[in-house]
Amino acid sequence: MSPRNALRTTTFRLALAYLAIFVASSATLLGFIYWATSGAIDRESEQIIEAELTGLREQYRQWGVVGLVRVIEERSKGDRADDMRYLVAGPRFERVTGNLSAWPPELRDRRGLVEFPLKVRVGDRQEARQTMAMAFDLPNGFRLLVGRDMKERSEFRERVLGAIAWSLALTLAFGLAGGYWVSRHLMRRVDAINRTSSGIRAGDLQQRVPVTGKGDEFDQLALNLNAMLDQIERLMSGMRQVTANVAHDMRTPLNRLRARLEVTLIEKPDEARYREAIQETIDEADRIIATFNAMLSIAEAESGAKTESMARTELPPLVDQIAELYEPLAEEKGLALSVEHAGRAVARADHHLLSQAVANLLDNAIKYTPSGGSVTVRTAETAKGAEITVADTGPGIPAESREAVLARFVRLEQSRSTPGNGLGLSLVQAVARMHGADLLLEDNAPGLRVTLRFAAVANGRSTAK
Ligand SMILES: Nc1ncnc2c1ncn2[C@@H]1O[C@H](COP(=O)(O)OP(=O)(O)OP(=O)(O)O)[C@@H](O)[C@H]1O
Ligand SMILES: [Mg+2]
């Protein structure tokens, strides 16, 4: 991934947003510290100036102008002279004594604390220093000025402003670098997924998203995607299998049909033979159509898109109807077909498809049970929900084959002599799935017992999805 793309990611934008919030809040915090501290220095200076003034006024009261002048002269030379400013001036602001050369114009007619830049000599240079000062009028026209150099505060301000600038600059730098790093890191993971999907689009269905094993959300996504791809691959290969089976299974009857017509043509038959051949052809075509219909029904049930046709259905009448259709067939084969109902079994069902499924079960039971046996269809309302059971006394299906016979075109070796395509139970299974019903194949000792168990219906609605 190119560095420019990393800057365009959502992650990087999010990092920028967080950075902006962080910078704003730290600037606010540092600004507050700055404001509070420099305010404290101001107040300290005010207190010092006021205390000096009070002290000097006291001197004046005790010793008069002469005493005051002496004290000021002393203080102007002492340690305090570094940052304290003193001046005694006459009525026309003429300097009497102190460490200032002239009365500052800013203080001529202002009372109280005044802050102004004051020119002072530092070594051999003149420097404008921010100064806080206060003037006091003495009786007989003299005046006293006490001030403080605010150099300390200026230095402090400079240092704090420098620190703020540096910390903001560093925060920005780290934030940008961090955001860039994180988004590159995440993009690498996303890229792996993108690479896999383009590989798959290019035709390589075998590709899978790499899993790092960290167990994070990307691994989760990769596992899910891979599971989905496995499923798609399985479905595709199933589809391929079914297509091959369909082609194979259709070829046999079509070949048979064609051969019969050909033989009839060569035989130079009479009209009766023609009639017979045409009738056989129609029968064969019917069987082919029936197979296609079965496959269509399975596809229809598997698409599961018929939820609007699902309605509250009473199972006993549905089963009675089908059983009646199969009664002659059972009788013809010498089988005892009985129907039993226990309770008012109700399920949410698609009437047409469910009828087809029950018909397939009955068809199997009658087809595979030798004459003299019996077939029983039962509906029941149990605690687990409504049930339809079709049981026979035939050869049954060995336990290890019960799963396999549900697949399309699968027929047991023992049934090769009977007609069929191996689609009946596939349809039953597709219909069961579509209804959210359980399909159970069990031993009827002897014979096979197939149960369709539907979810209980509450207030006319199925709880099954
Ligand atoms: N009641 C049964 N008793 C014994 N074997 C059965 C029974 N029902 C199904 N089978 C076995 O399961 C296989 C699959 O059944 P299925 O109904 O899917 O196909 P089919 O009956 O062979 O053909 P079709 O139903 O498409 O006409 C059958 O070929 C048979 O071997
Ligand atoms: Mg069948």
User: In the structure encoding, which two tokens stand for residue 183, read together?
Assistant: 């988004």
Residue 341 forms beta bridges with which residues? 379
CA of 276 to the centre of ligand 1 (A): 30
Q: CATH number for the domain including 222?
A: 1.10.287
Residue nearest atom 4 in ligand 1 by C-alpha distance:
396
CA of 103 to the centre of ligand 2 (A): 121
Full-prediction pTM beyond 0.75? Answer: no
How many independent structural domains does the chain possess?
A: 3
Looking at the fold, whether 428 and 312 belong to one and the same domain comes out as yes
Nearest atom in ligand 1 to the alpha carbon of residue 369 is: 3
Average pLDDT, stretch 184-188? 86
Looking at the fold, whether 378 and 309 belong to one and the same domain comes out as yes
Measured distance CA(146)–CA(133) in Å, rounded? 6
Average pLDDT, stretch 23-37? 88
Check pLDDT > 80 for residue 218: yes
Report the percentage of the chain scoring pLDDT > 90: 42
* pLDDT the model gives residue 306: 63
Give the DSSP H or E segment for 86. strand 84-89
CA of 330 to the centre of ligand 2 (A): 15
Looking at the fold, whether 99 and 52 belong to one and the same domain comes out as yes
Residue nearest atom 27 in ligand 1 by C-alpha distance:
420
462 — pLDDT class (breaks 50, 70, 90): very low
Residue nearest atom 29 in ligand 1 by C-alpha distance:
411
Ion ligand 2: residue ranges with CB closer than 5 A:
364, 424
Render pLDDT for 248-303 as a digit per residue (tens, 0 to 9). 888 888 998 999 889 888 887 788 888 998 999 999 899 889 888 888 888 888 88
At 112, give phi and psi (nearest 5°): 80, -170
Residue nearest atom 19 in ligand 1 by C-alpha distance:
422
Residue 366 burial class via C-beta count within 10 angstroms: exposed 0-12, middle 13-18, buried 19 and up: buried
**In a domain? residue 211:** no
- Closest residue by Cα to residue 148 from 126, 120, 123: 120
Per-state percent for the chain, helix, strand, coil, to nearest 5 = 60, 20, 20
* pLDDT the model gives residue 236: 87
Average pLDDT, stretch 54-66? 89
Which of 298, 329, 355 corresponds to the end of one domain?
298
Q: CATH number for the domain including 74?
A: 3.30.450.20
CA of 405 to the centre of ligand 1 (A): 7
* pLDDT the model gives residue 318: 96
Looking at the fold, whether 314 and 380 belong to one and the same domain comes out as yes
Looking at the fold, whether 95 and 224 belong to one and the same domain comes out as no
Looking at the fold, whether 12 and 146 belong to one and the same domain comes out as yes
DSSP letter for each residue of 221-250 = HHHHHHHHHHHHHHHHHHHHHHHHHHHHHH
**In a domain? residue 347:** yes
305 — pLDDT class (breaks 50, 70, 90): low
Q: CATH number for the domain including 405?
A: 3.30.565.10
Average pLDDT, stretch 70-83? 82
Q: Which of 78-82, 226-230, 295-299 has the highest mean pLDDT?
A: 226-230
401 — pLDDT class (breaks 50, 70, 90): very high
CA of 396 to the centre of ligand 1 (A): 10
Measured distance CA(310)–CA(431) in Å, rounded? 12
Residue 126 domain boundaries: 3-158
Check pLDDT > 50 for residue 245: yes
| Position with higher pLDDT, 115 vs 79 | 115
Render pLDDT for 124-137 as a digit per residue (tens, 0 to 9). 888 888 999 999 88
Check pLDDT > 70 for residue 110: yes
Check pLDDT > 90 for residue 375: yes
Render pLDDT for 431-443 as a digit per residue (tens, 0 to 9). 999 999 999 999 9
* pLDDT the model gives residue 460: 46
* pLDDT the model gives residue 431: 93
Q: Which of 55-64, 335-344, 390-399, 447-456 has the lowest mean pLDDT?
A: 55-64
- Closest residue by Cα to residue 319 from 162, 454, 147, 166: 454
Task: Give, as one character, the DSSP assignment of residue 404.
Answer: G
CA of 302 to the centre of ligand 2 (A): 18
Render pLDDT for 328-353 as a digit per residue (tens, 0 to 9). 999 999 999 999 999 889 999 999 99
Looking at the fold, whether 317 and 448 belong to one and the same domain comes out as yes
Average pLDDT, stretch 401-425? 91
* pLDDT the model gives residue 465: 40
Helices (H), 103-216: 151-201
For ligand 1, which residues put their CB under 6 angstroms from it? 294, 360, 364-365, 368, 392, 394-397, 405, 410-412, 415, 420-426, 448
- Other Cβ atoms less than 10 A from the Cβ of 332: the count is 10
**In a domain? residue 89:** yes
How high is the mean pLDDT of the chain?
A: 88
**In a domain? residue 178:** no
Which ligand sits closest to the CA of 420? 1
Region class of 131: left (phi > 0), else alpha (psi between -120 and 50), else beta: beta
Measured distance CA(200)–CA(211) in Å, rounded? 17
Going across the sheet that includes 448-453, the strands are 336-342, 374-382, 385-392, 448-453, 438-443
